[in-house]
Structure 1
Amino acid sequence: MHRKLTLISAPAGYGKTTLVCDWLADCGRPAAWLSLEQEDNEPARFITYMIAALQTIAENIGEGVLSVLHSPQPPPIKSILTAILHELAAIPFPFILVLDDYHAASPSEVDEAVAFLLDHLPHSMHLVLTTREDPAISLPRLRVRDQITELRAADMRFTLSEAEAFFNQVMELNLSKDHVTDFQSRTEGWAAGLRLAAISMQEERDADRLLQSFTGNHHFVLDYLVEEVLQRQSEDVQVFLLQTSLLDRLCGPLCDELIPEHGASGKDMLIELDRKNLFVIPLDKERRWYRYHHLFADILRRRLLESADEGLIAELHKRASFWYEQQGFEIESFRHAVEARDIERSARLLQGNGMPLHLRGAARVALDWLESLPAQELNARPALWVFYGSALLIAGKPTSIEPKLQAAEAVLEGVEQDAGVRDLIGWIAATRATLASLSLTDSSDVSELRLEAAEAAMQDSDREDKTDELVEFIAPVRKALVRDTEGIDLIMAQSRRALAYLQPDNLSARTASAWMLGVACQRRGIYAEALEAYNEVIANCRRINHRLMAIMAMIGIAQIQEAEGRTDLAAERYREALGLAGDLPHPAIEEARLDLERLRRVLEDGRKGDLLSPREIEVLELIAKGHSNREIAGKLFLALDTVKGHNRRIFEKLQVQRRTEAIARARELNLLMGTPKPH
């Protein structure tokens, strides 16, 4: 109350008027209330009604002003306001003036009058404005002077606890917390939306059924938003709202690309919509990106479909797709290309410049599109059959994959094997290797059931990308008891085929193939090939930023080193894997922690007096094999300076000056693998 102005600015239906009424009942001050309408946009009329409102708390106020105001030649508005202010200053008690629905009567003349009032407001008077759009008065100046309290949509939204109290205490609906959460999320805390949902519940009584239909197209919501919001806008604003509604996010340049013929710039329109509180929500502090309120977006999209022909809608999606691609947003570009039904563009974008989009978070949208295409379109583009199978894998649906791979092979049969075709053949092999890995079990008789069980387990997860679940199914086991040698042979054969055919830059497929080859070779006891495969996985994961698969590869290497009796190196690898894992929850990581603790005890008991650390021994062994510092850094994935540091410490501990001396001294101390033990 120590500030001059309270501004409550929010879209229609956020409870602005209700809030002020409730506040006034308890604030302890008399209040004059003026609800403005469209006709009150003429200054003389506005001042007349304001005086009438003020007379409810001071009966004789403004009587002389009213007679002058309606004379044939009234004085300037500022003179009239000055006279009113003198009378207001004489009121002996603090009071409040509320201008409700200020947006209905705010041309420049009324804004100027209110700004003048604020500049000269008596200390005893407090002004409250409720509005659907920010008034054209100097809000920044008021903020700097600490003369304004602002409440906006974010402050007015119902929280979960408030929504629960409204539904179950006020409306007595006895909804479960889950249902309340869903309605609060669907309405984004919009008071009118919650109210409309509660009214609908009184008729429907089936919360689950109502939730399915409660969108911007629900008849209560639709009627409210159309009548209270959309129809009140100018034709230009309506066109902008409708044609940009197909965007999930909006920014000025994107809107300009979408509607180049629109008079105002996209940036200016978004700023204006935000000022008018037209259900646009800023997504960043700089107000570059916005989105529409979900229910408002629903109604805009429906009306766009009803009012525009398919050609215009497809063109809008193409423009959005082009803009997103130019900005490097390939997934968004793909989504709009799909909506535009542009198969050629969608197919090109799906390939993703080296890593297909279904491997980068777009598995579901890719799969939905591929499922919608007729077989002849897929046959014309065999890569889509291959991506179809791969997308099913990422979506955790392995039982449906093999027919897609066979369809791809049928189309590719007899086609000249250029680099692109060879890459597709390699991808097919990589996908089959994964299927074989998922089917691997103690008995080949139940491998198909194992595949179905894996699919059922993966579908329990809400995550769209099931890569982590796939890794968990295929993770190396320190003591694997798999007797399905035929299955392991199939995994190795398909993985080797994949690595032979896949292009070097197809890192995602190569990494998966190397990973499965490493696991299969480890289970078969072919340790040298397994280590080579795991090291490729680690190197690739650094480039594609796949932490979990790198961790699993490190654990696999540690298990192999332990099986070979290289306890120090195994412990070091476990430590690296756990360091990279951090707090990541995973059964194999937990097992690795237990294995490391066990190895620590073994090392403490048997090798307390070791001269060199495990990593120093690893570096020394590579020195003995003739590798340069740079080659050692590459093999151990260390920085060159780190390798040089290891060299210095090795020389110091062995008390030598050069490499040849270090190797000779290490052999004397039996520090190198293959060194004969002294008799």
Structure 2
Amino acid sequence: MTAMTPCLDRPGFLPRLSSHHQARARLCEPLLASAARVRLICAPAGSGKSALLTECLLQAPAQCSLHWIALAGATISRGEFSQRLTQALGLIATDEAGLLAALARWSQPTWLFIDDYCRQPDPALDAWLDRLLAISGPALIWWIGTRRRPQCNWPRLLLDDELYECEAATLALTQSEIAQVLHHLPAEQALSVAGRIGQRTGGWCAGVRMALLQKCDWAQSNQPQQRVDTLLDYLQHELFSSLSPELAEAWRVLAHLPRFNNELCEHLFGAGDGAQLLRALQSLGCFIEPWQDSAEWLQVFPPLTRVIQESRWPQGRSWHRRACQWFTAREDWRSAFEQALLAEEFEVAVSLLQHFTFEHLFDDQTVVLLLRLHEQQGEELTLGSPQLVGLITAALLFAGRFDQAAASIEHMSRFVPQPSAQKQRQWLARWQALQGWLLHLQGRMAPAREHFRQALAELASDAWPARLLCLSGQTQQALLCGELELAHGINREALCLARAQGSLLFEGLLELDHAQLLEQRGAPARADDLLASTQELLCQREHRPVPLLGRIALRRGRLALCMGDEARAAEWFQRGLEDCLRSHDKRVLYGFLGLAQLAANQQDYAQAFVRLRDAERLMQQRQIPDTVYRGVLLQVSSQFWLQQGRAELAHEALSRVLRHFHGPHARQAPPATLELIPRLEYLLFTARAQIQPSLIDLAEIQQALSGAQQKGMLSLEAELHLVLAQLAWHKGEVSLAQRALQQGQALVVRCQLQQSLLEWRLRHPDTALIRAAAELCAETPAVAAEALLSRREVEVLKLIAQGESNQKIAEQLYISLHTVKTHARRINAKLSVERRTQAVAKAKVLGLC
């Protein structure tokens, strides 16, 4: 990381930075600004400790004396350390007592850097360092870089404000810091590539550097073999060479486990030895960190585990078998199942599935493991009971493998007749629930609806998971038909049942339906608040439900995009994309679509279409039917083509795809794209208007607008008002155009639908109507504020103005106290105030109450 070079204006040898160094001001500035006497940087190999110390050294005050001691992690004695210290500080040779006395009366401003402190535990040396730190005067500032945290009295220094410690996690390079190195790429592409590098390397400095050395195409998913070999060689020299054979073997075992703790280590490596080995690895800085912020569980740094697990290791099966035994004894069925698969004990793995419920599918990697087992062992082993059929079918439906799911459902015929008429009816109801979901996802609404209805009529109370799935399917079908009140009623029934059963996972799944309902009603902020609360609760679980969190992240990305918060949308889309890729969720499609939309907002259509091609390629690689993705891909592509002025191409694509959603054999839109068909239709109107304005039929768009108004679909209504304004303008009906534009913009402001307005403007740049839209945006503050607040928020604000408490407001409006607080918080944000009194004062000025 650094090299030693003479410093002309200061004595001794000081380091220099590599030509590839990436400055980290966010770390240097707090270190330099600290008043602490001791500044400690403790982190594993390759974290950039030496470079960070050097960066700080080069910014030292001119009057400060600098001294650098490069220990290179070597094992040295207490006497050798004292000698190195004495020479560095320019002291006359003295004994330990003399050194302590000299440090105690040190008065010249001095920075002393100790780089790569002794890596092996040495109690005598650590005790001596502790004494030196305690006795030295305030003029001497200690800068210590180390892989191993020395056994010093750090709490005392911390309480005396004499210690500043740079946390190891903060040393990881951020996406923006990596992007700065990719200066040869366009800014947007550099940020995208940096994100992929950061995701694979965790921002680990050495890993990022190795990745950049490969000069590979980071749009591809495969890691170059050269980088893997380089990393293994690096680990051999920087990690394994300093470990005993026993510790090195233990580290390899732990690197093959998703998580571990003291008890598991005791089981694997022997009672009394396992916990000791783990503590030794931790103390040596061997890339061991908390697992998902857990206080009990640990993991090896994930970018390293991926490489280690890909390398051939014949002894691994026996260790996985032992881990499986331990997890089974603890009744941690999912972890035991995973270890049985890794041990290639497939019959054991299948036997463990008898303990699984539908909720286990939400655990990280469960779907992927089930798919792997099904692929490797086939029908004979994995479809031996109705419960196994249900699990495998659910995993296949989740991943979008509908043909295989249909074949799996057919195997339920093996288990009839059942011993009694009651069991036969329950078996048939469960079959109908699975069949209903298959038909629903295939876009065959009518038969799916009938299956859901019949299943709900028969399912017993103990079959509540199947009931909840049927109710969720019915909710989505009502949303697809624009029956918002019906959808709301079904969703409330389902949520009550999930809460009665204490199932937070099902509640989260159903809240996704609720959020879609709120979005259609023009309340994206409420939907985002709802999902934020749900996400917070789910993240408190010991096992993070990654598949469900991935879907929530994608939906929050869409909501942020809808409200015009592109930075937050990009963050959520990227997070959701990564989680859905990891869990093989077919809805990963919407991560690509969201990132494509963000690129199009910046008119970077090349990057936008790259995202769409990436999405299509992944869907094809994972054998997902084109009914899942083709329609929405063509809708988004047509939207981009219209923004580029390629109306003929958009018209052809929209006409072709709409044929699949019209006629006697029409399919429903995919559940995640509730407004797909209306959007396809109004984009087709727009394309026709650009090609031949004389053929515009305003009656069609007015009829669609009337339908959206009757159903209370405010989001769609706002978009249709804007489309009507543009079409009427083309027809020369200026008055109608202006009226529609005013109504559309009022809804955009009130419902926070900035993305709809932006897309409309990008489709029609530099027209007189756009200029009129800009003039309307400059309306009076009272009108803008009134449009900004929803009807319910105005009601809450008026009661606040009357001096009512939150509890009284909740009682009068028949809403929860939490909802009142949410409304109040949102009112303050919209009116740009911080307190209730300020909100009331501003509302009175604007004439709102």
For 1:162 and 1:349, locate their aligned partners in 2 and report how far apart those are by CA, in whole Å: 45
Within 5 Å, give how 1:25-424 maps onto structure 2: 25-27=58-60, 28=62, 29-36=64-71, 40-54=75-89, 58=90, 61-63=91-93, 65=94, 80-88=95-103, 93-104=108-119, 107-168=122-183, 176-201=190-215, 205-209=216-220, 212-213=222-223, 218-261=228-271, 263-265=273-275, 269-283=277-291, 287-302=295-310, 305-306=312-313, 308=315, 310-323=317-330, 325-326=331-332, 330-347=333-350, 349-352=352-355, 355=358, 357-358=360-361, 362-378=366-382, 380-409=384-413, 411-413=414-416, 416=419, 423-424=426-427
Structure 1 distance, partners of 2:38, 2:47, is: 20
Residue 506, structure 1, aligned to residue 463, structure 2: yes
Q: Offset at 1:284?
A: 6.8
TM-superposed CA distance for 1:403, in Å, is 2.1
Query: 1:434 is matched with which residue?
Result: 437
* Distance change (3 Å), C-alpha of 1:287 and 1:554: closer
- How far apart, in 1, do the equivalents of 2:71 and 2:526 lie? 65
Q: How far off is 1:348 after superposition?
A: 5.0
Distance (Å, rounded) in 2 between the aligned partners of 1:100 and 1:553: 55
Q: Report the CA distance shift for 1:276/1:216 in structure 2 as closer, same or farther (over 3 A).
A: farther
> Once the 2 structures are TM-superposed, how far is the Cα of residue 579 of structure 1 from its aligned partner?
8.9
After TM superposition, the structure 1 = structure 2 runs for residues 578-617 of structure 1, keeping only pairs within 5 Å, are 595=711
Q: Deviations over 1:135-154 (max 9, x none)?
A: 11111111111111212322
Kept in 1: contact 2:323–2:336 (CA 8 A): no
Q: Give SS of 2:69's match.
A: strand
> What does the per-residue CA deviation read over 1:414-434, in whole Å, with 9 as the maximum and x for residues that have no partner?
564587776443322222233
Q: Secondary structure at the match of 1:48?
A: helix
After TM superposition, give the deviation of residue 121 of structure 1 in Å. 0.7
Using the alignment, how far apart are the partners of 2:57 and 2:384 within structure 1?
70
Query: C-alpha distance in 2, partners of 1:193/1:259?
Result: 30
Deviations 1:79-125 (A, max 9, x none): x2221243456666322222222124752222222222122213332
Letter in 2 for 1:43: R
Unaligned runs of 5+ in 1: 66-79, 440-449, 452-473, 475-487, 557-573, 599-641, 646-679
Q: Any conservation in 2 of the 1:534–1:554 contact (CA below 8 Å)?
A: no
Local SS of the residue matching 1:184: helix
Distance 1:550 1:422, change over 3 A: farther
**Match of 1:566?**
none
Deviations 1:259-297 (A, max 9, x none): 4446142xx655554443221223477742322212322
Q: Structure 1 pair 365/154, CA: closer, same or farther in 2 (3 Å)?
A: same
User: Cα deviation per residue 1:381-426 (whole Å; 9 max; x = unaligned)?
Assistant: 35433433333223333343322222331x2245645877764433
1:9/1:134 contact within 8 Å kept: yes
Aligned residue pairs total: 500
Structure 1 range deviating more: 288-297 or 413-422: 413-422
Name 1:672's counterpart in structure 2.
Answer: none
Deviates more, 1:271-280 or 1:529-538: 529-538
CA distance in 2, matches of 1:93, 1:579: 60
Q: Kindly tell me: are residues 52 and 491 of structure 1, through their superposed partners in 2, closer, same or farther at Cα, counting changes over 3 Å?
A: closer
CA distance in 2, matches of 1:344, 1:332: 16
Q: 2:428 aligns with which of 425, 428, 435?
A: 425
Decide whether the 8 Å contact of 2:472 with 2:491 is kept in 1.
yes
The answer for unaligned runs of 5 or more in structure 2 is 1-33, 532-558, 560-671, 679-706, 715-810, 815-849
Amino acid at match of 1:336: Q
- Quote how far apart the aligned CAs of 1:235 are: 3.1
After TM superposition, give the deviation of residue 131 of structure 1 in Å: 0.8
SS of residue matched to 1:26: coil
Distance 1:553 1:285, change over 3 A: closer
SS in structure 2 of the partner of residue 3 of structure 1: coil
Question: CA RMSD, aligned part only?
Answer: 4.6
After superposition, the Cα gap between the structure-2 partners of 1:354 and 1:108, relative to the gap in structure 1 and judged at 3 Å, is closer
User: For the Cα contact (< 8 Å) 2:43–2:146, is it kept in 1?
Assistant: yes
AA aligned opposite 1:26: Q
- Report deviation, 1:182: 0.9
**How far is 1:580 from its partner?**
9.3
Paired residue secondary structure (2:183): helix
Distance, in Å, in 2 between the alignment partners of 1:521 and 1:24 is 65
Please identify the structure whose Cα radius of gyration is greater: 1
8 Å contact from structure 2 (residues 75, 118) kept in 1? no
CA displacement 1:611-644 (0-9 Å, x = unmatched): xxxxxxxxxxxxxxxxxxxxxxxxxxxxxxx9xx
> Are the equivalent residues in 1 in contact too, given 2:350–2:382 (CA < 8 A)?
no
Under a length normalisation based on structure 2, what TM-score does the superposition of the two structures give?
A: 0.51
Amino acid in the other structure paired with 1:407 = H
Deviations 1:486-537 (A, max 9, x none): xx4x55664465346644311122333466689999999xxxx999998965
Deviation at 1:222, TM superposition (A): 1.1
Q: Matched residues in 1 for 2:269 and 2:65: separation?
A: 50
Which structure carries more relative contact order (alpha carbon 8 Å, separation 6+)?
Answer: 1
C-alpha displacement at 1:311, in angstroms? 3.2
Shift of 1:377: 1.6
TM superposition score normalised by structure 1: 0.62
1:185-216 Cα deviation digits (max 9, x unpaired): 21111111111122222xxx43345x621599
Check the 8 A contact 1:245/1:301 in 2, yes or no: yes
Paired residue type of 1:18: A
Q: How far is 1:228 from its partner?
A: 0.3
Q: Is the 8 A contact 2:201 2:208 kept in 1?
A: yes
Give the CA deviation at 1:129: 1.6
2:42 match: 9
Contact 2:210 2:227 (C-alpha < 8 Å) held by counterparts:
no
- The correspondence of residues 551-566 of structure 1 with structure 2, limited to 5 A, is none
SS at match of 2:87: helix
